[in-house]
Every structure is written in C-alpha cells, then in structure tokens.
Amino acid sequence: MSAFVEELKGLASTALRKEYIKNGASEKVLGIKYTYLQHYKKEFGKNYDYALQLWETQIPEVQILACMLIPTNKLNVDLIESWNKDIDFYLLSDAFIGNVLTPYKGSLSLANKWIDSKEEYTLRHAYSILFMLAKENGFMKEEVFAKYLDKIRANISNAPNRAKETMLYTLLNIGRRSKMLNEQAIAAMEEIGEVRIDHGTTGGITPDVLSILKIVKKTEGYIFYAPGDML
C-alpha cells in the first residue's frame, strides 16, 4: 500500500491540493485529479480487501478510490457506518453517496438513523438518501415524504453548510413527486425564505428552488402521478 501511495504522490498537484484544503479537505489530502482515480478504478476493478486497505490510509483521494472499488454485494451496515464517520470532505462524500449509499438496499433505515445528527456529513448523507428515494422510488407513500418536508422546514436554516445544500435539493425532489407534495414544498419554501449556501471556490450555484417548484406546478411536470408510475 505504501508503494501505491507513493505512486499517487507522484501524480499530485500542489495547486489542486491547496484548492482542496481551501474547500474543506484535511492536510492529508494529496491533490489528485479525479481522472487519475477513474483510471485506477478500471485497472483494479471491484476488490473488497483492497478497498478496505485503501480506506485505512485516511487519505481522502485514496478513500474515494476505495468507494469506487467496494463491491455492492459486500456492503453492510457496520462498514457503511464506519466509513461514514471518517468523512469530512465534500468530494469524498460525493463518492461515498454515489458508490456506497446509492446501491445499498437498506439505505432508508440509515437515513432515519442519521437524520437528527449534528455532524455535517452524516446529516448530508441522510438527506442524500432521501434525495435519491424522492426521485426514484415510486412506491413510497406521500405521507412519508411530507414528514421529511416538515423536518427540512424546521431545521434547514440552522443546518451545517453541506447538509443544508442537500436538504434544499431533497425538498426540490420531494416537491417534484406529485401535486400534493409540490404544494407542500412550495409552502415550505415560502416559509423558509432564502437559503444561503457557501460553495467555496467550487463554482457551485444555489438553485432558485421556489421558482423551479412553481414551474413544475404550472407545467404539471411531476415525476410520479400515482404509486407505480415509475414503471
């Protein structure tokens, strides 16, 4: 593993490392371009044991690669919760969401367990799961998502920055599901008001969620009209 880390250090960019640190990464970050990690993903393929070794380095980019390599059929609650506790950088969080939380079948139970967390990335991960389910699961009852809207309305203003961003996108997806939820999401956004998110130097832009929800209402561009419509 030490030889591989040294190989990665040879690919590191000082400027990129500074940029990552400026946007929340720890001093352990190397400054590796994502394209290099994608190359190693193809080279190594899915590899459970190697993914665990990569994670133990505690180097953010190496942990991103670990997320890419972990086989879906090896995911379990203990591993996911252990990895979740280590995450404190948005790019690693993105990789964790995309490669670990998204394919995991028990993700909703994790969202419900994490949803009252005070930790920025744990809360972000809870709402990332709900964001995905709101977009893709046509069988969950509207009443369930209505309860999550209430939580967002009550807590978004004081939520940590990266969690706040995901809560906003989750509210948007919930409001796109159906006419009833759209009306509730619009009411929630009108009560919440402006949501300020610090995107650092990433170039991110906070969407005008209220305007988007009103367009969805006007055009009736709902994701689902009734349970099962996704099929």
Provide the token pair at 44: 């190594």
pLDDT tens digits, the chain, 231 residues: what are they?
789 999 999 999 999 999 999 999 999 999 999 999 999 999 999 999 999 999 999 999 999 999 999 999 999 999 999 999 999 999 999 999 999 999 999 999 999 999 999 999 999 999 999 999 999 998 899 999 999 999 999 999 999 999 999 999 999 999 999 999 999 999 999 999 999 999 988 888 999 999 999 999 999 999 875 444 433
The pTM of the full predicted model, rounded to 2 decimals, is 0.92
Collect all residues with Cβ–Cβ distance below 8 Å to 175 and sequence separation of at least 6. Answer: 181, 182, 184, 185, 186, 189, 209, 213, 216
Please give the distance of CA 80 from its chain centroid, rounded to a whole number: 14
Collect all residues with Cβ–Cβ distance below 8 Å to 80 and sequence separation of at least 6. Answer: 100, 101, 104, 110
Provide the token pair at 123: 């809360």
Collect all residues with Cβ–Cβ distance below 8 Å to 131 and sequence separation of at least 6. Answer: 166, 169, 170, 173
Separation of alpha carbons 70 and 160, rounded Å:
28
Check: CB of residue 10 under 8 Å from CB of residue 41: no
pLDDT score recorded for residue 225: 52
Q: Residue 21: which of 30, 8, 33, 9 has the closest Cα?
A: 30
Q: Residue 90: which of 36, 56, 53, 128 has the closest Cα?
A: 128
Separation of alpha carbons 41 and 28, rounded Å:
21
Helical axes 209-219 vs 161-175, angle rounded to 10°: 10
